Structure 1
């Protein structure tokens, strides 16, 4: 059970209810039915449950998520590789659960996703393409070490994605590092009956 348990819609304050309605609309449009973000009572779970305890942050959080999705230059498989690689650094159960399901809607194979979730870059027959390898390496470096990204990875990212795509990659790692910290701080579980 999360340290900030899901709040049933009937128990929300007026401010929380406004945030809930806005978040529901955005989640439906951005995530669809790829993973569970509400429980059987309609209460938000995952990172969205603790956000409702700070309702003034719901709007900025979702604006960031929506705008992040509009950034050019980073293909969906590379984006999901970066998100999953970041999740492995923080061992964030819910993040890995949710984005494993999102990643399956891209061109990534199940074996590649499993390898990334375990913190290992896929190799051999399951090796990633060049963009995937760069996304993995950059996400692992940024989420694991202190200090600036190496020039080598910067140049690889610029070559693979251009300046815009590299900026998007860095933003994704940063936003999902924040999301993982939020999830781990509240000990957000994987939905009942689901695995990660």
Structure 2
């Protein structure tokens, strides 16, 4: 059995191992069952992560799922930038589910192991990290910490990506911050480790 990344992480995840709150309802009403079926038959192939607590509000679950699907499956960000940014958000917000889910995806997309290890340890990124990835970490961290971007960071991001891509990146950060906060409160467990 392979250990989940959070189990070997340099920093702790406060909700890891605590009993889940806001678990899916034991019995699904027709609207909840329809929402679950949409997830099962869609690209996610199951009801997990933020969709566990969202089962309590099926219309909201469907709307949130569509935004996430657009960002992950129809977005314009390259896989390394997208997965790295998700990992930055997960680490900044100490979310065990998104960290365990997206760390292997980031590595598979070509994000250097040294950068992922530095992020995991809360250390600065290696100086040789690809410029757009380093900037994405700055953007996500600044946005989460200060709730906005300073003029210098905004101008650098605008020059790096242009308006459409910057809007997508900011939306990705906001989407994953939202689901991380929801799961942190719900104490949603990380994905099942590979066997």
TM-score for both structures, normalised by structure 1: 0.80
Per-residue CA deviations over 1:3-46 (Å, capped at 9, x if unaligned) read: 023457xx322111100011122243xxx7xxxxx5xxxxx332
Conserved 8 A contact 1:47-1:182: yes
Give the secondary-structure state (helix, strand or coil) at the position aligned to 2:134: helix
The residue that corresponds to 2:172 in the other structure is 172
The residue that corresponds to 1:12 in the other structure is 28
The residue that corresponds to 1:54 in the other structure is 57
The residue that corresponds to 1:78 in the other structure is 81
Give the unaligned 5+ runs of structure 2. 1-18
Query: Which structure carries more relative contact order (alpha carbon 8 Å, separation 6+)?
Result: 2
The residue that corresponds to 1:65 in the other structure is 68
Quote the Cα distance in structure 1 between the aligned partners of 2:88 and 2:29.
Answer: 36
Conserved 8 A contact 2:83-2:102: yes
Quote the Cα distance in structure 2 between the aligned partners of 1:98 and 1:151.
Answer: 33
The residue that corresponds to 1:2 in the other structure is 20
Q: 2:111 aligns with which of 92, 108, 113?
A: 108
Q: 1:24 aligns with which of 22, 40, 54?
A: 40
Q: CA deviation at 1:193?
A: 4.5
Matched, 1:90 2:93: yes
Distance 1:165 1:192, change over 3 A: closer
**Following TM superposition, where does structure 1 have runs of at least 4 consecutive aligned residues deviating by more than 6 angstroms?**
none
Per-residue CA deviations over 1:63-87 (Å, capped at 9, x if unaligned) read: 1112223343x32212222211111
CA RMSD of aligned residues (A): 2.0
Conserved 8 A contact 1:51-1:58: yes
Q: Does 136-145 or 184-193 show the bigger shift?
A: 184-193
Q: CA deviation at 1:111?
A: 2.6
Give the unaligned 5+ runs of structure 1. 33-37, 39-43
Conserved 8 A contact 2:96-2:189: yes
Q: CA deviation at 1:112?
A: 1.9
Quote the Cα distance in structure 1 between the aligned partners of 2:43 and 2:121.
Answer: 27
Q: CA deviation at 1:113?
A: 1.7
Q: CA deviation at 1:2?
A: 1.4
Distance 1:153 1:180, change over 3 A: same
Q: CA deviation at 1:153?
A: 0.9
Conserved 8 A contact 1:5-1:49: yes
Size of the alignment, in residue pairs? 175
